[in-house]
Amino acid sequence: MKWLDRLEEMFITLLIAAATLVIFAAVVHRYVSGLPLGAVQDALLKIHMNWAQELCIILFVWMAKFGAAYGVRQGIHVGVDVLVNRLAPANRRIMTIVALSAGVLFTGIVAVLGARMVWENGLAYAALTGLGMDTGSHYEGPTTPDLEWPTWAVYMAVPLGSSLMCFRFLQVLVNFIRTGDLPHHDHGHVAGLDEPEPFPVVEQKP
Which residues in this chain contact other proteins in the complex, by CB under 8 A?
A: 9, 12-13, 15-17, 19-20, 23-24, 26-27, 31, 53, 56-57, 60-61, 63-68, 70-71, 74, 76-84, 95-96, 98-100, 102-103, 105-107, 109-110, 113-114, 116-117, 155, 158, 187-195, 198-204
Rounded distance between C-alpha atoms, residue 109 and residue 95, angstroms: 21
Comparing CB distances to other proteins, the nearer of 134 and 194 is 194
* CB of 132 vs other proteins, minimal distance in Å: 29
Question: Cβ neighbours of residue 39 under 8 Å, at least 6 residues apart?
Answer: none
Taking residue 69's Cβ as centre, other Cβ atoms within 10 Å add up to 21
Rounded distance between C-alpha atoms, residue 56 and residue 22, angstroms: 7
Comparing CB distances to other proteins, the nearer of 123 and 158 is 158
Comparing CB distances to other proteins, the nearer of 16 and 134 is 16
In the DSSP assignment, the letter for residue 146 is T
* CB of 53 vs other proteins, minimal distance in Å: 5
Rounded distance between C-alpha atoms, residue 59 and residue 149, angstroms: 13
Rounded distance between C-alpha atoms, residue 121 and residue 142, angstroms: 7
* CB of 130 vs other proteins, minimal distance in Å: 23
Comparing CB distances to other proteins, the nearer of 136 and 200 is 200
Taking residue 176's Cβ as centre, other Cβ atoms within 10 Å add up to 17
Comparing CB distances to other proteins, the nearer of 92 and 134 is 92
* CB of 191 vs other proteins, minimal distance in Å: 5
* CB of 137 vs other proteins, minimal distance in Å: 16
Rounded distance between C-alpha atoms, residue 178 and residue 173, angstroms: 9
